[in-house]
Every structure is written in C-alpha cells, then in structure tokens.
Amino acid sequence: MQRTAKRVYSPKALESWLDRLKAGWESSFNPHELELGRQLYREGDIREIEIDHNVIIAHMKQGKELIYSVVEWSHMQPEVRSSIENMEQGRALAIAGLYETEELFADEIDAWSVETPGEGRPSAIPSPPITSTKKAGETFGKARELLIKLSAHYQGIKADAFWKDESGTVPALEGKAQSLKHPLERERMIRLTSLLKKANFVYRQDKRFYILREITAIPTFLRELLPKWKESFLVDTEASLQKLRRGVQDVRVEIKVESSYNGLQMHWNISAEGAPLPEDLALKLLRRNGQPMLFPDFGLLRIPRELVRKIADLEALRNGEAIPHYMLFSLFGQEGLHIDFTPELQWWKEDLLQATEPEARDTHLRGYQQRGVHWMKHLFAHDCHGLLGDEMGLGKTMQVLDLLHSSGLKRTEPRSHLIVCPASVVPVWIAEAERFYPSLKLKVLHKKETFEAGAEPVIWVASYTQLRRHKKQLETMEFGFAVLDEAQMIKNPDAKSTQACLAIKAQHRLAVTGTPLENKELDLWTLFRFLMPGLLGTRGNLETMLQVNRMEVIQQLKAQIAPFILRRSKHEVAKELPPKQEMVLRCPLTPLQRKLYNRVATEGKIGIKEGHERMSAMSLLAILTRLRQVCCDPGLLPWVKEKTKPEDSGKLQVLQSKLDEVISAGGKAVVFSQFVSLLNRVEHSLQESFPNLPRYKLTGGTKDRSKPVKAFQGEKGSAVMLVSLKAGGTGITLHAADYVFLLDPWWKPAVENQAIDRVHRIGQEKKVFVYRLITEGTVEERVELLKEGKAALFQATVGMLGDNSLVENHSQSLKELFDLIEIADGNEN
C-alpha cells in the first residue's frame, strides 16, 4: 500500500500557489530530473508536504535520515535548495513535492464540471493549475478525453491510460510534458494519478502502467470505486474482470483413488467452474499455501489451506511409491475434497468396515474377547493396524496372547514377535502366557541381551526402557507382530522411548491401552504415527488445525480413526461384573493444616508475583504439590520438624473411621496414594489401631510385585493393601478387595481409573465401593474440576462425541495453575 503524504497548508497559502503553477514550471528542470521526481511521486515516497505563502517544503526519508527540499518562487520560476548534497536528487525531491501540491489542487477543487478553462466555474473557486508548452497568445483546441483500460494481469489489475480524440489514441503514461496539449488534460492526469494512488495502484516504471497487486482489495475496487471512475473518465474493462467482482473463489479439488498391487494410486484434479486448471497453474496455486491468486482466465482462486496441507502430506508420504490402503481413511472428513473411488476400492472399504462374527472354536476366552481377536485378525488381513482400547479389566492381555497363539509363527519365513510394555507389567505377560498358552515361547529382553535375528522365532517381551537401549538393533530386525502395551507411554513424540518404538519394523502393529487419550488429542497422533504413519497428517498441521477449529477437527479425527479402534466398556460386555459405586468423602482441615496451608499459599503467591519474569510451570507445580501434601497430612512437609499425630490430619481421621467399618464388616480394602510417605503414615496408624490386621504394601521400591499381590488375594478375612498410585496402577489384579480409597486426587483421571480397575475387573464377584478423599476448600477441589475437563476430552474424542468446546488443557496454562492457589477459608486456631 502506498503512503499518503501528510499535508500541512492553509486555504490562502494553497491559493497563492495556483497562479504560480499555471506557468510551465516543468521547463525549469531537465528531463532526467523530471523522471526521478515523477518516480518519487508515483511510489509515494513523500512523507510530508508543507505549503506556505512563499515556500513549499517536501520531506522524505532516505535510509534512516530525514531529508527535505525547499521550493521558492522567484522571477516566474521555481528555485530549489535542499538538505541533500546531491543537487540532482534534491531537485527531484522538489519536483515530487510540486506534483503532490498539484494533486492537492485536484482533491480540493472540483474542476470536472467544466469543459474549458474559466467557463462554468463559480467565481469563488480559483482557476486550476495549468502546465503547457503553448506560448503566450496561442489558443487551445478541444481537450482530449482520458481513456482508462483495465485488464486482468497475473499480478493484479492492470491500468493503462490513453489520450483519445478523433484521430485515435496515444499512451498517456509516457511521462512527457510535451504530450499535454490542453490545460484540462493536465488536470485530468493529476486527478487520475490521485485516484490511482488512493486505490493502492502501484506504478511500474519499467512497464509504464499501474497495477493493483492487493488481491483482497480487487473486489471492493471493482464494486465500489470503479463506478466513480466512470463518472470522470472513459473506462474500458475486459470481460474477465467480471469474474473478479465475485471475490475469492475456492477451487474444486477432486481426487481419483484406485487400488494397485501394493497400495493406492491417487490422481489430483483442480478445477474452477468446471474447467480444469492447467498443471503449471495448479502447482502455482498450491505453492500459495491457502492464499488467493489471480488467474486472468479464471478469476481470484484459492485452495483452502487445510486441503493444501492434506495434498502436501499425501505427496510427501508417497515419495514416488504407492500409498498404503489405510490412507484412504485420511481423506474422510475433509471439507471441499471430492473423492472418486474405483469399484474395487469401494469393495475393499466396505469389506473392512463390515462386522462379522468369529467362527466358533474351543477357547477359554469370553465371547467379547473372541470378537476382539477376530477384529484384530480382520484388520491385519486388510493390511491395516489397530488399537485395542477396551476398558481396564476386560482382558486385553489375554486377547493379544490368543491372537499370537492362533496366528502362529510363520515356519516358511520365521519371524519373532515383539511385545513392549512397562517394566512392572513384564511379569504379567509371562505369567498369563505360562498359565493359558504354555506353547508360546516368551523371552524377556534384558540389558545385555541382543535380538537373535535368524534364530528360532520367539515372542520378545521388552520394557520401554530396554527397547530404548536396544534401538540400534531394531534397524536390522523385522518382526511379525509388534505390540505396544500401555501404549499411552509413547504419547510424547519427542521422548527417546517413543522414538525407539517408532523405529520398530513389523508386518502387523498393534497398540493396547485402556487410556488412549490422557491429556489432549495429540496423544492420539503419536499412537497412530506408530500404527499407521500418515493417517492423521503431520504433527504440526494437526496442532495448527486444532487451534483454528477444534471441534471440526475432532469430528474429522473420529471419522478417520473409528475403523481402527475397538473400545468396549465393562457395562457393555461384562454384564456379570458387579456394579461399582463411587463417592466423595469431604475431609476437614485441622487447625494445624489450615495454618500451614495458608502459609504455603501466601508465601507462594508473593514469591511468584515478585519474580514474575522467572515464573515457570515448575515453580507453580512445586507450590501446588506442597499444598496437596498439607491437605493429606502436615507431617509430609519437610520443614515440619515436630512430630505430628494422626489427629492433625482431617483426611487420616476420615480414612481411619471408614477402615474401622470395612474391617469390622470383614471387607478388604486397597488404599492408593501418590505419596509413598503418606502410605507409610497410614501403615503406622493401622499398626497401632489394628495390630493383627494383615497389611501389604506395593510401591516403586517393591522388588517382587507378585508376592504381596498373591498374599493379599489369598487372605480369607479382612486385609488392607497400600499401593503407590504410579507403581500399582497397571499390571496387577486385586479383585479380592471390595473397597477402594483414593487418598489424594491425581491430575489425570485415566490414572485413577487404572487404579480402580485393579479391583473392579473380570473375576470380581462383589460390589465395589470407591471413595475419593477430598479436603474441603482447598486445591484438591480445583484439581477435581480439572479432571472433569480431561474426562470430557477423552469422551469427546474416543467415546461418544459431544460438545467439548469448553474443554482446555488447563495444566499447560501458567495463569490457570496460578489460579489454583487459594487461601483456605476459615479461622486459624
């Protein structure tokens, strides 16, 4: 956009220059100076023009320096002095200032209602400026009309100007003063130049025409400004400009998809109004990345940015090779993308989506588990890969083992299989296989061990840590099946363990997790990057799209991943499973807790405000952790030196009361907490209250996890198991219990659900009571609100889609973390 010069003048000062500029002032300068001055004027380089009775001062910026030229009128001609040492440049700046002054005349004086100088003009309006080569005493002929020709140009709208009379037309933009034969012609040229600048046309010095490059300004110019131009000039417009009046039009993107022997072949066609764009033009439009482009024969066209990304993703994935069949589903839900399938591909798609019942066979699996195995085999038969996302406790491990057992290890082309899981779950896989599938040969990958390529096929069971250590060996291995258990472990795409998993090469890939979405939609991207690379596009594109239109993208994600996720809830498939009842136990703050809580909150807020420039999520989380420790038991704070008692913790008092009831009724309870030190204090309290009660503990420091689990499961009467939330959230079965206590709310609802499902799972015969202990009026209540948001996010993406427009990733916002820190209400005693 050209800059409009600032004008400083008074009407009397402006009038004083009219008669002076009637004379042929241009003849006072040489042609080169005039050409330089016209270029400065056309390009809008003048920053300010000051008009006084005796001088005109033109200002402009040269580099970082402000320069000026002064024009004085002496002996019937302009004289110039300047702040520039180069006299030629100084005179060019003065010329540009004089043209700006003439443009100001054109803006201020309505001279277009007259045909000849001096006729029909009100006496109060002074005569217009005239510059001519006529000598004194000569008469003027009839003024020529100014003809403007507008045409579509690949850079914008092109404007040419011509003088028109009975003899024909001649160019008007050659810049020669000698071409002006009448005072009105100069007036018209000044008026045209002013209008072109205001409409943001830019002068092309080399081509001698003006161009309107701003694509978005073109429709407004054609609809609103052009009619006013026609009131002052003859205007000739190309028919193609009518297409530009409609504004920017989205092209039609069609893709023909057909099946080949090793994948998909895709052929793109981009058209406008039913006419295909030539390939070179289509490529230019794609390179605009969603920005509109002018095509003289088609109008203003655009490919929506989302489609540009999709095309780029597919082209990058193909890289000269066939595209996997599963990529067909990446095209679904793309607004503006029209897909044409061949009949063969349509049959493949319908066959993949068709639900069939498994053949009857002798197995110990339940009906829904047999259907899960059949579903996995069905996907693999179509060269697709899946995510088994059944709720915790429905036997996902058993279904995978049955899949491996019934598929068998290929004898003609021996291949080992690979199961990757958390270290705590490795013994579970070994135990389940030995119990139900003794013919399967499972081998644990240890630190000093290597994959034995070419040896007898086995099923390797590796922890995520061990797999990371063996990443280099993965380059030489290709497995039959690769299974990621607790696959949410790879949700961070930048983690080393994730990179190791993505390096796995396998004929069939399977992800197993009861919590495919713990925090945000991008968790799913990494899972499907392992399963079916390219299906969800690039990570960067997905992040951008989620920011632009989150709900629409969620709907699109669901359409793309739905065929490849199998998720069943206990309510759906395990009708025999007893119900569970979840309740919140409100716990009061003791006077000591309240005093310590308010101290931590106050000092934390002051410290953060004073050092706000260094505020980080880590410092906020540290304060929140201290507050949560106070809510559980003041003795958890490292600086509380005096020995505290159970009576100093409202939460321990409530827990003690409830455990009294459970033990008196002969029940079994599992107590979960994030803080191992809190479990130690609960253990000490139980020892004093119930010295003969069987007590067991499972934390990250427990070497043999199976020992306390078996002992607890085998107890005939009351017993209590104390479990670290992280260490005992996966890989164990505690369905002998019928009571679950969650001592401190955790940020992620999925982690708590995993813990609960250690008890409420297949094999449970009693109703399960789940108690969440929440300290009133504290950060714990706010954490519960965060968990509700994350649960809604999970439900919207993986479960039944609903309106989650209010769901946000709170834990990523420093402001929201800061807002969690509140002073506890009540009196300190």
Given CA atoms 407, 384, 754, 744 in this order, what sign does their dihedral have?
A: positive
In this structure, the chain runs to a length of 829
Mean pLDDT is lowest, of 161-170, 352-361, 629-638, for 352-361
Q: Residue 794 has what pLDDT?
A: 45
Check residue 517 and give its pLDDT. Answer: 66
Contacts of 823 (CB under 8 A, 6+ apart): 598, 601, 602
pLDDT average, residue stretch 595-602: 88
Residue 812: per-residue pLDDT: 41
Q: What is the mean pLDDT of residues 27-54?
A: 87
> In the 8-state DSSP scheme, what is residue 334?
-
At 545-575, the pLDDT tens digits run 888 777 888 888 888 888 999 988 877 776 6
CA 724 – CA 743 distance, rounded (Å): 11
The neighbour count for residue 1, using CB atoms within 10 Å, is 10
pLDDT at 179: 60
- CA 386 to centroid of chain Cα atoms: 25
What's the CA gap between 674 and 727, in Å, rounded? 9
Confidence of residue 459 (pLDDT cuts 50, 70, 90): very high
pLDDT in tens, 330-361: 877 667 778 888 888 888 888 988 877 887 77
What residues contact 500, with CB distance under 8 A and at least 6 apart?
464, 467, 468, 470, 471, 474
317-326 pLDDT, tens digit per residue, is 666 566 888 8
Question: Above 70 in pLDDT, residue 267?
Answer: yes
For helices 522-531 and 539-548, the axis angle rounded to 10 degrees is: 150
pLDDT band per the 50, 70, 90 thresholds, residue 41? confident
Q: Which of the two residues, 186 and 689, has the higher pLDDT score? A: 689
Total Cβ atoms within 10 A of residue 150: 21
Q: How many CB atoms lie within 10 A of CB 502?
A: 15
pLDDT above 90 covers a percentage of the chain that reads: 12
223, 393, 290, 346: which is closest to 759 by C-alpha?
Answer: 393
Tens-digit pLDDT profile for residues 754-800: 888 888 777 777 888 888 898 888 888 877 776 666 555 444 444 43
The model's confidence at residue 404, banded by pLDDT at 50, 70 and 90, is very high
pLDDT digit string, tens, across residues 236-266 = 988 888 888 888 888 888 888 888 777 788 8
Higher pLDDT, 104 or 764: 104
Q: How many CB atoms lie within 10 A of CB 112?
A: 15
> What pTM value is reported for the model?
0.57
Distance CA 619, CA 617 (A): 6
Residues 6+ apart with CB under 8 A from 507: 415, 478, 479, 480, 481
Mean pLDDT of the chain: 79
Predicted confidence (pLDDT) per residue in 13-24, tens digit = 887 887 777 666
Tokens read off for 107: 């803006």
Q: What is the pLDDT of residue 417?
A: 93
- Give the strands of the sheet with 337-341, arranged side by side: 275-276, 263-272, 252-260, 337-341
Q: Which residues contact 28 (CB under 8 A, 6 or more apart)?
A: 77, 78
For every residue of 123-153, DSSP letters joined together read TTSPPPP----PPTT----PPPEEEEEEEEE
